[in-house]
Amino acid sequence: MKVWTVNGGEDYSMAAPNFTVAAAAALLIGEGGVTCKNGSDFMPFLTWGLRDAWTRKQFGKGIDEFLSDVKKNSPEMLAEALESILPGSPEQRDAMIKMAGSGDPETIASRLDSITAKSIILDTNYRQVARRCAASLRSAP
């Protein structure tokens, strides 16, 4: 699993298996208003008119078809990527995960929520949108 920097004004990090899933997650939470980067894989800020052109160039599909295909073919990976979003850089992410300790995924998620809630810079909007998207992916037929 790679860790991606997602930025819509402040750094967030997200774990995703590949650029396709990471880009789809970033498009879902930011509608083109966030960047997504890991090494040479990079999604820039995309205004409405550029989203379709960018996904066609990168993935050979327009924005609607691209997101539909990722939701259909990789719903669990996309949901996990969305749920993994944390405030801060990848380095800060590692520190938060170490602070959360070990245990079952729900316990760790609860601990991470507690840690991030204490962060003064945390803008929870992206995490809230991401969780709603993940929940809808998991409830889809």
Instruction: Tell me 5's DSSP state.
Output: E
- The residue among 121 and 15 whose pLDDT is bigger is 15
Note whether residue 42 is domain-resident: yes
For the cut 60, the answer to whether the pLDDT of residue 123 exceeds it is: no
Does some domain include residue 96?
Answer: no
Count of structural domains within the chain:
1
Q: Please report which confidence band the pLDDT of residue 115 belongs to, taking 50, 70 and 90 as the band edges.
A: low
CB atoms near residue 128 (< 10 Å): 12
Report yes or no on 55 lying in a domain.
yes
Per-residue model confidence (pLDDT) at position 116: 63
Asked whether residue 94 is assigned to any structural domain, the reply reads: no
Tokens representing 70 are: 């990722």
In a domain, 100, yes or no: no
Residue 129 placed within a domain? yes
Does the residue 68 lie in any domain? yes
Global model pTM greater than 0.75: yes
Mean pLDDT of 10-17: 87
Q: What is the pLDDT of residue 124?
A: 55
Report which of residues 66 and 120 the model is more confident about: 66
**What's the pLDDT at 30?**
83
Exposure on the CB side of residue 104, measured as CA atoms within 13 A: 2
Residue 26 lies in a domain: yes
Amino acid, res. 46: L
Average pLDDT of 74-92? 87
- What residue numbers bound the domain in which 14 lies? 2-89+124-139
